[in-house]
Amino acid sequence: MIVSQILKSKAVDGVLTLGSDASVSDAAAIMADRRIGTIVISDDGGKTAAGILSERDIVRHLGTRGASCMADRVSALMTAKLVTCAGGDTSDSVLGRMTEGRFRHMPVVEEGQLVGLISIGDVVKARLSELAMERDALEGMVMGH
């Protein structure tokens, strides 16, 4: 399966973004309210991604600096060197990059524009669906259907 198919199967279209001047506290509140693990940082209304901020980023800074980091701007904690994928990338290649990089969310970029965000859960769900279809096809061949 390719990334564009995974995006089409998601229940929510678009990407939730936040400006880089927002506070970490605001970002954490949005993540808690929406029950999401990351937020894309964008200063142009979501057209391009300047970075990504995850729960792990916040917890890492809480552990080393304490609650004072919650007043910082998200730009101070976000990952600015993004690893992205494109709609034509395969689920296996994306899963490999996520596993190797030890992150759970990846922005989808086409021609420099942010078009979506996929999680490792989205990719695993798509892969399991593929495996189920393959299993059903093989069972059909064995049974003579």
User: Domain spans of the chain?
Assistant: 3-143
Cβ contact 38:55 at 8 Å: yes
Give me the pLDDT at residue 12, please.
75
Determine how β-strand 38-41 pairs with β-strand 51-54. antiparallel
Q: Which helix (H) or strand (E) holds 129?
A: helix 120-143
Give me the pLDDT at residue 145, please.
64
Q: Which helix (H) or strand (E) holds 54?
A: strand 51-54
Tens digit of each residue's pLDDT, the chain (145 residues): 899 999 998 877 778 999 999 999 999 999 999 999 999 999 998 899 999 999 999 999 999 999 999 999 999 999 999 999 999 999 999 999 999 999 999 999 999 999 999 999 999 888 888 888 778 888 888 887 6
Residue 40 contacts by C-beta under 8 Å, 6 or more apart in sequence? 15, 16, 17, 18, 46, 49, 51, 52, 107, 114, 117
Q: Which residue has the tokens 């990504």?
A: 52
| CATH number, domain 3-143 | 3.10.580.10
Task: Judge residue 90's burial from the number of C-beta atoms within 10 Å of its C-beta, 0-12 exposed, 13-18 middle, 19 or more buried.
Answer: middle
Cβ contact 74:54 at 8 Å: no
Tell me the C-alpha distance between 20 and 41, whole Å.
6
Give me the pLDDT at residue 79, please.
95
Chain center to CA of 33? 17
